[in-house]
């Protein structure tokens, strides 16, 4: 890769090919600015990345490198980002296409940390900054440049060590690659939960180390702080931190001679992170290390790590271990006094496997097959994951399993709920119609009005259609709960359709029966001229509905968002209408019982800016009934385009269109993409997981044809039926002569086209549009005009299925559209449910831990396994029991007895059946221990009769808060000296809440031992002990690293009230006069302190008494010296 400038596509790359394995490192040296990066080989490229930059002084950058043709990349920015005149963000990703050896470069004046890249082919990603000050208030900036690892190669466990020979700390950022990633930093007592692309930042100070653990793979980067924060004139740099999973057993390190000869990078180091018990076996160029300062990093587990920095020069080094089974991490970095710095990861194990967790990966894909009738078909597929997964075969997106696992549903049914909402005000008094159609049996139908508690009864002869007009009073127009709901019951299968008709405003919808009702929906509306609407209808009592809006939305004075859903409780046949003047497409609706969802608009211009607006009404299928494969064609009879939207029912839905060819990713559930098909055009649209596709008729000014907008939920190929009844009732078509011409659009596989029939006869000759699918199948689409009447469509081949849409418009700017019917298989038991899960627990060492998990599933058998740190536990290692409560419900217990330190971890239960599995939320088991010892125990202010002691809290509190500290004072016979201390909680011993204590009333020139330990509710830490000797009796200098305390006694004969002046000289002042001294004290006390001194430095002092009333000076004391951090000295004051 060469240096690329600007924004957009370029072919400026360098390709390196070798017949043997090599290591490639890229250096970017400039005067006063440089960086470097390890370059990864193509096998380490990936399809998903998260990146990190820093707040730019100039620009933040990234670069995407493709090595394959037709590489489609989806870029999700963390905030509003402008490119080519359009704004992109988390909801609206940027899609680009790269050819082989092409590069896309982007830069921004905003921090790009958290940008997510996803692609259909593996790519390489470089990211960083043109120049950044770290931290932002630092005085120097530097180039940041690093190649990033894909999410599939990221680790979960990291050992962090700050750089050596710098007194400033390091800044770290951890970026989540997956939603709900838990980040734990024990030494900082920090725990964060992050969604993908979000990050947290923290700082470690000089010589501070820690571990960091993510429960899912995460990115960790390290920034050094720029010069000005310490005495070194170093620029900041960026490096990836290797995860423990990346560690290797050997490395090759090289410092190019140009780094030292031309750019004076004389300070070069290797940071090594290695299991502490193996550190002595580390070799550099085959030799053991000497003179290395190791720092131990406690991991709260069975394996602690040691870190050290090794100084190197411009040469080539091999870093290895006496045992090739020991792996360790390596970071190389350096800087110069010219303000140049660099840093990068020393290497990565090429066969990196994230052993703690990785999602399922297909390793052997089944091949497409062409077979003749009667032949045996054998498909093979293998996959890997951790924890282990179950392979499930699917046909047309539906899992293949026992018939008990499926619910076959059709738009023909016997139990329906529906509600009606109002139209554009110009409609004046619209006439709603419920259209009932019987099939091959007489149907007795009851329509129950839940508001008036009244009923209407109708008897339908076979294949008869009846239109029933509805009182306009039953139209819903107010936001909130409503009882204006109809319940339709029949003793035989019927179809129900809803028409809302008036001059200038009409639409229609197929009404789905209760067998279709689901617990999860994504909504489709349009940009409203007048309100977008969602009407939810409950079919059972005590139905709780959760509504997650695509953006901040108010209801009853409260703000609701995607992350703060609105919760509504409904009774049987009760509805809830929500309406607002913005597009509600992408709203996610979830419920604990099956509900019906009708969405649309009071009035909408489609597309925006095209007149006129019209009502949109659509009864939506639930997510579990959605398909993945759609055949789409623009509306016949219109010269203008047809508008489509595809809406993601699941996160990270990959969508591909055959014409014009396009691939993009809908990253978040509810996100959507809008596109158009011109008149006469068709396409195949495929989602890699179920998605909702809707089509919109457009307004009159799009082509001067007098049709208003309408909406249709497009049936997928999976939803096609083998026969339909379509009807244009006289009651509706004759109303103001609205619809003289109606269209039936047929979508059929080419091989079944000739078998189509209409009312029992051969299908009429029409102009068919061929559409070739992405799987190389041919479909045919055509529309036939029909008038008033009933139309039966079928196929002579009983195995053939096809799709049917019905639509119309007229000269009075009125239109409608609906699906004529759908048939779907709903896999009702794909995912088990977890119940009665134990919450996280915190127990003392030695106690019993009892974890409980209960799960149920409609698919049998249902089983439970337990995981620790995402690894499946063996019943041979733990006490695991399982009880079958019913044939569909099982309970499991994990017992740990006794609890030990090694049991502290994250546990989860996994409930699974032969087709699917679900993992519980994290159960954190924390084993409480006594705290670690106190740190940095030190003595200060030693006098003849007093001692002060101070310390830092333990590095780890044993997962129980420190209650207090105990300090014992012992004599040289190790016998306890009962002495209370300052700030003690009780009078008989030194028990303090603070991290310091002072003992007084001691014997002069006596040896004492101070023992200090920390206490929590579990117990006491190991004691830390120091020996100290009090000063001789008399006038003494107390001390610490930055101050010296001078004590004296008054003269025997005072001759009045005395004051005292204390003068100070530095050791290099050979001639000491009052003129070149520093007056450190002038007052009446017998004690003074000289402060702000240099550590380990010699000072001289002299005390002169004087008569305050007359100003007469007394005899000066002798000169005495004292050293900060040295034993006390004595000054005798003459009378």
Backbone angles phi, psi at 702, to 5 degrees: -70, -30
> Given pLDDT bands bounded at 50, 70 and 90, which one contains residue 1134?
very low
Q: What is the number of residues in the chain?
A: 1135
Least confident of 19-28, 60-69, 681-690, 1039-1048: 1039-1048
Cβ–Cβ < 8 Å for 936, 951: yes
Cβ–Cβ < 8 Å for 852, 864: no
Q: How many domains does the chain have?
A: 5
Sign of CA dihedral 410, 412, 413, 416: positive
> Given pLDDT bands bounded at 50, 70 and 90, which one contains residue 1132?
very low
Is residue 351 domain-resident? no
Q: Who contacts 239 (Cβ-Cβ below 8 Å, separation ≥6)?
A: 146, 221, 222, 331, 333, 343, 344, 345
Query: 907 and 940: one domain?
Result: no
How far CA 972 is from CA of 26, 975, 1004, in Å, comes to 62, 7, 14
Query: 130 and 164: one domain?
Result: yes
Structure tokens at 1087: 């004690």
Query: 1016 and 886: one domain?
Result: no
Question: With 0-12 CB in 10 A as exposed, 13-18 as middle and 19+ as buried, what is 694?
Answer: buried
Query: For the chain, how far is it from start to end, CA to CA, in angstroms?
Result: 84
Identify the CATH number of the domain in which residue 842 sits: 2.60.40.10
For residue 372, is pLDDT > 60? no
Is residue 373 domain-resident? no
> Given pLDDT bands bounded at 50, 70 and 90, which one contains residue 1128?
very low
Whether pTM > 0.85 for this model: the answer is no
Structure tokens at 1019: 């117990």
How far CA 865 is from CA of 442, 721, 870, 877, 1093, in Å, comes to 53, 41, 11, 13, 64
Is residue 97 domain-resident? yes
How far CA 271 is from CA of 34, 98, 277, 860, in Å, comes to 20, 38, 17, 53
What is the average pLDDT across 691-717? Answer: 88
Least confident of 107-121, 130-144, 923-937, 1079-1093: 130-144
- The predicted pLDDT at position 1135 comes to 29
Provide the mean pLDDT of the chain: 84
Cβ–Cβ < 8 Å for 434, 418: yes
Percentage of the chain beyond pLDDT 70 is 88
- The predicted pLDDT at position 400 comes to 57
- pLDDT tens per residue across span 950-1000: 999 998 888 888 999 999 999 888 888 877 888 888 888 899 999 999 998
What is the average pLDDT across 910-930? Answer: 84
Please tell me the distance from the alpha carbon of residue 704 to that of residue 698, in angstroms, as a whole number.
11
Please tell me the distance from the alpha carbon of residue 598 to that of residue 535, in angstroms, as a whole number.
5
Query: 415 and 545: one domain?
Result: yes
Is residue 388 domain-resident? no
> Given pLDDT bands bounded at 50, 70 and 90, which one contains residue 402?
very low
- The predicted pLDDT at position 355 comes to 41
Query: 633 and 732: one domain?
Result: yes
For residue 374, is pLDDT > 70? no
What is the average pLDDT across 352-377? Answer: 59
Cβ neighbours, 10 Å, residue 993:
11
For residue 1066, is pLDDT > 50? yes
Percentage of the chain beyond pLDDT 90 is 38
Please tell me the distance from the alpha carbon of residue 60 to that of residue 132, in angstroms, as a whole number.
8
3-state secondary structure 707-738: CCCEEEECCCHHHCECCEEEEECHHHHCHHHC
Please tell me the distance from the alpha carbon of residue 894 to that of residue 851, in angstroms, as a whole number.
5
What is the average pLDDT across 1054-1062? Answer: 86
Least confident of 51-60, 920-929, 1031-1040: 1031-1040
Query: 584 and 621: one domain?
Result: yes
What is the average pLDDT across 431-455? Answer: 91
Helix (H) and strand (E) counts in the chain:
2, 95
Nearest to 725 by CA among 790, 781, 786: 790
Structure tokens at 845: 């060492």
How far CA 978 is from CA of 947, 970, 989, 999, 1133, in Å, comes to 15, 8, 7, 10, 34
**Among 244-248, 305-309, 673-677, 725-729, the range of highest mean pLDDT:** 673-677
What's the domain range around 996?
A: 935-1029
> Given pLDDT bands bounded at 50, 70 and 90, which one contains residue 722?
very high
Residue where a domain terminates, one of 1004, 1029, 1054: 1029
What is the separation of C-alpha 390 from the centre of its chain, rounded to a whole number of angstroms?
Answer: 25
Cβ–Cβ < 8 Å for 679, 638: yes
Is residue 793 domain-resident? yes
- The predicted pLDDT at position 388 comes to 58
For residue 217, is pLDDT > 50? yes
**Among 26-40, 374-388, 481-495, the range of highest mean pLDDT:** 481-495
- pLDDT tens per residue across span 579-600: 999 999 999 999 988 999 999 9
Least confident of 207-221, 251-265, 269-283, 1083-1097: 251-265
Structure tokens at 425: 């005000």
Dihedral angle computed from the Cα positions of residues 702, 707, 711 and 712, in that order, rounded to the nearest 10 degrees: -110
> Given pLDDT bands bounded at 50, 70 and 90, which one contains residue 1127?
very low
Residue where a domain terminates, one of 993, 1009, 1029: 1029
Query: 950 and 1044: one domain?
Result: no
For residue 715, is pLDDT > 70? yes
How far CA 476 is from CA of 424, 577, 602, in Å, comes to 13, 8, 11
- The predicted pLDDT at position 2 comes to 41
What is the average pLDDT across 704-722? Answer: 89
Cβ–Cβ < 8 Å for 199, 113: yes
Question: With 0-12 CB in 10 A as exposed, 13-18 as middle and 19+ as buried, what is 1006?
Answer: middle
Query: 700 and 765: one domain?
Result: yes
Least confident of 80-94, 283-297, 715-729, 1115-1129: 1115-1129
Is residue 365 domain-resident? no
Q: DSSP per residue over 757-796, as a string?
A: EETTEEPPP--PEEEE-TTS-EEEEEEEEE-SEEEEEEES
Structure tokens at 158: 């990291």
| Cis, peptide link before residue 96, omega less than 30° from 0 | no
pLDDT top residue among 508 and 1125: 508
Helix (H, G, I), strand (E, B) or coil at 503: coil
Nearest to 991 by CA among 1002, 982, 1004: 982
What is the average pLDDT across 750-775? Answer: 91
> Given pLDDT bands bounded at 50, 70 and 90, which one contains residue 354?
very low
For residue 1129, is pLDDT > 50? no
How far CA 111 is from CA of 52, 57, 77, 254, 682, in Å, comes to 8, 10, 10, 32, 42
- The predicted pLDDT at position 835 comes to 80
Residue where a domain terminates, one of 307, 325, 345: 345
How far CA 1092 is from CA of 612, 687, 1067, 1069, in Å, comes to 81, 70, 16, 18
Least confident of 74-83, 500-509, 752-761, 795-804: 500-509
Nearest to 213 by CA among 300, 277, 294: 300
> Given pLDDT bands bounded at 50, 70 and 90, which one contains residue 260?
low
What is the average pLDDT across 360-377? Answer: 64
Cβ–Cβ < 8 Å for 928, 892: no
Is residue 663 domain-resident? yes
Is residue 67 domain-resident? yes
For residue 375, is pLDDT > 70? no
Helix (H, G, I), strand (E, B) or coil at 447: strand
Query: 868 and 981: one domain?
Result: no
- pLDDT tens per residue across span 468-479: 888 888 888 899
pLDDT top residue among 718 and 425: 718
What is the average pLDDT across 215-228? Answer: 85
Query: 845 and 923: one domain?
Result: yes
Backbone angles phi, psi at 1001, to 5 degrees: 75, 30
Query: 196 and 235: one domain?
Result: yes
For residue 320, is pLDDT > 60? yes
Query: 943 and 1049: one domain?
Result: no
């Amino acid at each position: 890769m060469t240096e690329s400038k600007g924004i957009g596509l370029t072919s400026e790359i360098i390709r390196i090919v070798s017949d043997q394995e090599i290591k490639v490192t890229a250096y970017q040296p400039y005067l006063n600015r440089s960086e470097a990066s390890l370059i990864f080989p193509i096998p380490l490229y990936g399809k998903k990345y998260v990146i990190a930059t820093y707040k730019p002084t100039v620009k933040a950058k990234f670069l995407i490198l493709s090595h394959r043709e037709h590489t489609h990349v989806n870029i999700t920015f963390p905030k509003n980002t402008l490119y080519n005149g359009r704004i992109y963000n988390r909801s609206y990703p940027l899609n680009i296409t790269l050819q082989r050896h092409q590069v896309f470069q982007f830069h921004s004046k905003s921090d790009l940390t958290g940008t997510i890249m996803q692609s259909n082919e593996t790519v390489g990603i470089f990211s960083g900054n043109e120049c950044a000050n770290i931290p932002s208030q630092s005085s120097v900036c530097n180039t940041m440049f690093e190649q990033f690892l894909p999410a599939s190669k990221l680790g979960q466990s990291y050992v962090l060590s700050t750089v050596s020979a710098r007194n400033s700390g390091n800044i770290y950022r951890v970026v989540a690659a997956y939603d709900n990633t838990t980040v734990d930093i024990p030494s900082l007592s920090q725990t964060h939960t992050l969604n993908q692309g979000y990050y947290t930042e923290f700082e470690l100070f000089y010589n501070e180390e820690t571990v960091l653990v993510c429960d899912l793979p995460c990115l960790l980067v390290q920034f050094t702080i720029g010069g000005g924060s310490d005495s070194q004139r170093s620029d900041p740099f960026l490096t990836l931190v290797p995860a423990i999973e990346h560690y290797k057993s050997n490395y090759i390190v090289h410092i190019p001679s140009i780094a030292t000869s031309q750019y004076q990078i004389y300070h070069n180091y290797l940071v090594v992170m290695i299991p502490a018990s193996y550190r002595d076996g580390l070799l550099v160029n085959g030799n053991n290390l000497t003179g290395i300062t190791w720092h131990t990093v406690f991991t709260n587990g069975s394996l602690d790590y040691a870190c050290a920095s090794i100084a190197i020069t411009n040469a080539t080094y091999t870093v290895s271990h006496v045992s090739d089974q020991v792996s360790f991490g390596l970071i190389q970095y350096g800087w110069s006094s010219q303000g140049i710095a660099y840093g990068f990861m020393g290497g990565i194990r090429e066969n990196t496997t994230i052993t703690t967790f990785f999602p399922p990966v297909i390793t052997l894909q089944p091949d497409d097959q062409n077979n003749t009738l009667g032949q045996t078909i054998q498909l093979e597929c293998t996959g890997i994951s951790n924890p282990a997964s179950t392979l499930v075969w699917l046909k047309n997106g539906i899992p293949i399993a026992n018939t008990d696992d499926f619910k076959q549903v059709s738009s023909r049914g016997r139990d329906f709920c529906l509600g009606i909402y109002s139209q554009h005000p110009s409609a004046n008094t619209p006439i709603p119609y419920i259209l009932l159609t019987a099939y091959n049996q007489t149907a007795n139908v009851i329509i129950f009005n839940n508001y008036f508690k009244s009923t209407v009864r109708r008897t339908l002869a076979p294949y008869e259609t009846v239109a029933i007009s509805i009182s306009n009073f039953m139209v819903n127009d107010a936001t909130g709960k409503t009882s204006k709901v109809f319940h339709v019951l029949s003793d035989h299968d019927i179809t129900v359709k809803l028409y809302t008709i008036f001059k200038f405003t009409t639409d229609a919808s197929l009404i789905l029966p209760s067998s279709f009702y689901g617990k999860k929906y994504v909504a489709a509306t349009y940009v409203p001229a007048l309100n977008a609407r969602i009407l939810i209808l409950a079919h059972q009592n005590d139905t709780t509905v959760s509504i997650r809006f695509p953006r901040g939305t108010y209801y009853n004075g409260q703000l609701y968002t995607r992350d703060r859903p609105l919760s509504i409780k409904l009774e049987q046949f009760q509805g809830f209408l929500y309406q607002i003047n913005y597009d509600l497409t992408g709203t996610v609706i979830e419920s604990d019982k099956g509900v019906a969802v009708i969405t649309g608009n009071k009035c909408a211009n489609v597309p925006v800016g095209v007149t006129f607006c019209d009502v949109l009404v659509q009864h939506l299928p639930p997510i579990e009934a959605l398909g993945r494969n759609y055949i789409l064609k623009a509306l016949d009879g219109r010269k203008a385009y047809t508008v489509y939207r595809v809406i993601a029912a699941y996160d990270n839905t990959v969508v591909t269109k055959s014409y014009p060819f396009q691939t993009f990713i809908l990253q978040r559930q509810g996100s959507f993409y809008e596109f158009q098909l011109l008149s006469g055009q068709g396409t195949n649209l495929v989602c890699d997981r179920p998605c909702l596709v809707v089509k919109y008729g457009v307004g009159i000014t799009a082509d001067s044809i007098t049709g208003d907008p309408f909406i249709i939920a497009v049936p997928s190929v999976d939803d096609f039926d083998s026969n339909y009844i379509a009807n244009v009732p006289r009651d509706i078509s004759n109303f103001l002569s609205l619809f003289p011409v109606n269209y039936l659009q047929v979508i059929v596989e080419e091989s079944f086209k000739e078998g189509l029939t209409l009312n029992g006869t051969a299908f009429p000759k029409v102009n068919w549009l061929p559409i070739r699918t992405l799987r190389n199948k041919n479909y045919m689409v055509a529309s036939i005009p029909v008038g008033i009447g009933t139309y039966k469509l079928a196929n002579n081949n009983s195995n053939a299925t096809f799709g049917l849409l019905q639509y119309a418009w007229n000269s009075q700017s009125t239109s409608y559209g609906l699906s004529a019917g759908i048939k779907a298989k709903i896999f009702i038991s794909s995912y088990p449910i977890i119940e009665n899960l134990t919450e996280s627990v915190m127990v003392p060492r030695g106690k019993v831990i009892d974890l409980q998990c209960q799960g149920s599933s409609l698919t049998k058998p249902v089983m439970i396994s337990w995981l620790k740190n995402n690894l499946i536990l063996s019943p041979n290692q733990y006490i695991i029991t399982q009880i079958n409560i019913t044939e569909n419900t099982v309970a499991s217990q994990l017992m740990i007895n006794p609890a030990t330190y090694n049991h502290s971890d994250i546990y989860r239960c996994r409930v699974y059946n032969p087709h699917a599995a679900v993992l519980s939320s994290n159960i954190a088991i924390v084993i409480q221990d006594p705290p670690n010892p106190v740190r940095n125990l030190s003595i200060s202010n030693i006098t003849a009769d007093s001692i002060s002691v101070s310390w830092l809290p333990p590095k780890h509190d044993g997962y129980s808060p420190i209650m207090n500290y105990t300090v014992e004072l012992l004599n040289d016979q190790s016998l306890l000296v009962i002495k209370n201390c300052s700030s003690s909680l009780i009078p008989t011993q030194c028990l303090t809440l603070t991290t310091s204590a002072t003992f007084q009333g001691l014997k002069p020139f006596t040896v004492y031992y101070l023992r200090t330990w920390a206490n929590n509710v579990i117990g006491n830490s190991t004691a830390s002990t120091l020996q100290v000797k009090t000063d001789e009796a008399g006038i003494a200098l107390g001390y610490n690293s930055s101050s010296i305390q001078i004590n004296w006694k008054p003269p025997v004969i005072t001759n009045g009230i005395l004051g005292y002046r204390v003068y100070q000289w530095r050791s290099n002042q050979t001639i000491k006069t009052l003129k070149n001294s520093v007056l450190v004290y002038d007052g009446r006390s017998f004690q003074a302190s000289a402060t702000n001194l240099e550590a380990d430095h010699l000072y001289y002092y002299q005390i002169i008494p004087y008569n305050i009333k007359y100003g007469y000076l007394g005899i000066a004391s002798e000169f005495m010296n004292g050293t900060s951090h040295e034993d006390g000295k004595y000054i005798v004051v003459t009378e």
